[in-house]
Structure 1
């Protein structure tokens, strides 16, 4: 008999962390309803299905025959919408798909964003990390909060997602590193000024790890809570393979969103 005491603690997941939903275990074929070009390397795929109980910040695993699975954050849940940057062989293969084609999806997985008690949350997206934040903004607005979106990018050509925030009536601050759109500099600099002025009471962030570390430091310095979504390679999405370990946690089940309480 196998000695189960030698198995890692993730072998038997608590019930609260086990995947659930109509296709939480096996990939399900889903037809692509529409494909929208965001910029030179990013496209948004609107799928012919919905995940009505999914939360902002959760993700799904996507698969194509002949490729490995990969995780993608939910840009929206009804219909299921994914915003995908072409950064490798699999995502380039996804970009070749057209409306009417099929991809395979399972999920949703992970811990998404939860609502803080404040009224003026700052939503910070770096690069294509901005994609899931409009979904979050809609949820915050429904609870009577007044979010402010911050979009950071390298150049004007890399800015995405502005129209979705504007359609919701959410104010947007855009920063680009070269100053070609919005204010010149890093998005964290604009966030720091807003917090120093007392105009924000929570931070929600999605983007590169350097930006997230900077947001964590800002939140601690200004004594506001932060919820940050950390990106990692995920092999299974259910806490078994351990590939997504980050600072001692498995992001697929204990994240990808992690909360930092105010100092």
Structure 2
């Protein structure tokens, strides 16, 4: 984990995802499955999902207009990371399971890296999803499955898949405060991707 001042390259609306896309030049080098946080000294620290990282260019998406303005005002921002536990790829087929497009951004970076590694990448939608970067499928199958869905849909996910704990609140991002603990899992250290079998009773799962 490092603290790195990094240059803001671009902040622009992305109407496809109803968010703002922020591109930052940084040597922070997060692996798929990890996240970063942006620190505004004497103000606050905000954990952010990594949407992509390639050639020292970090991409994140934000929903807050206030945060978008802060990025617009800054030539450089202080980043902390990489944080969390990286995913380990296996097999040749990677499947992403999402509820909707907002969840899609949670797993976008691991999907992109899987594609760069030569894996066959597809996406299964719990609800109707359109205009995605990757091919959609109506079958839940793959050598490796990652997912992002609301807490109430956890039972719909395969027990051996890895789910992004997007609903937990992170504070210290170092596993000290316990704010992000969910069913015995400290999300900021052991996650944010956690195997579904660790947090869902087998009797609750439908897959």
Question: Structure 1 length normalisation: TM-score?
Answer: 0.63
Partner residue in 2 for 1:81: 59
What is aligned with 2:43? Answer: 67
Q: Secondary structure at the match of 1:116?
A: coil
- Higher radius of gyration, 1 or 2: 1
Structure-2 change in CA distance of 1:129 and 1:67 (3 Å)? farther
Partner Cα separation in structure 2 for residue 60 and residue 229 of structure 1 = 14
CA drift of 1:133 comes to 2.8
Q: Which among 205, 208, 211 is matched to residue 150 of structure 2?
A: 208
User: Aligned in 2, Cα 1:84/1:254: closer, same or farther, shift over 3 Å?
Assistant: same
Instruction: State yes or no: 1:58 paired with 2:34.
Output: yes
More helix by share: 1
SS at match of 1:203: strand
| Contiguous gaps of at least 5 residues in structure 2 | none
- Count of matched residue positions in the alignment of Structure 1 and Structure 2: 193
> What SS is found at the alignment partner of 1:37?
strand
CA contact (8 A) 1:33 1:99 kept: no
Q: Which runs of 5+ in 1 are unaligned?
A: 1-19, 87-91, 174-190
Which protein has the bigger strand share? 2
Closer, same or farther in 2 for the Cα pair 1:62/1:152, shift >3 Å? farther
Give per-residue Cα distances to partners, 1:189-240, cap 9 Å, x unaligned: xx7x413xxx5444211243234x0443xx14xxxx3011102211111111
Q: How does 1:94-173 map to 2 (within 5 A)?
A: 94-96=67-69, 97-98=71-72, 101-117=75-91, 119-125=92-98, 126-150=100-124, 162=132, 165=133, 170-171=134-135, 173=136
Distance 1:94 1:152 in 2: 30
Query: What residue is the counterpart of 2:21 in the other structure?
Result: 44
Report the secondary structure of 2:5's partner residue: strand
CA displacement at 1:48 relative to structure 2: 1.9
Q: CA deviation at 1:41?
A: 4.5
Q: Is the contact between residue 52 and residue 112 of structure 2 (CA under 8 Å) also seen in structure 1?
A: no
DSSP 3-state at the match of 2:139 = helix
- State the Cα distance separating 1:100 from its structure 2 match: 5.6
1:26-82 CA-partner distances (Å, limit 9, x unpaired)? x43322101131138511100021333x21121111122453212111111231111
Is residue 191 of structure 2 the alignment partner of residue 255 of structure 1? yes
The secondary structure found in structure 2 opposite 1:204 is strand
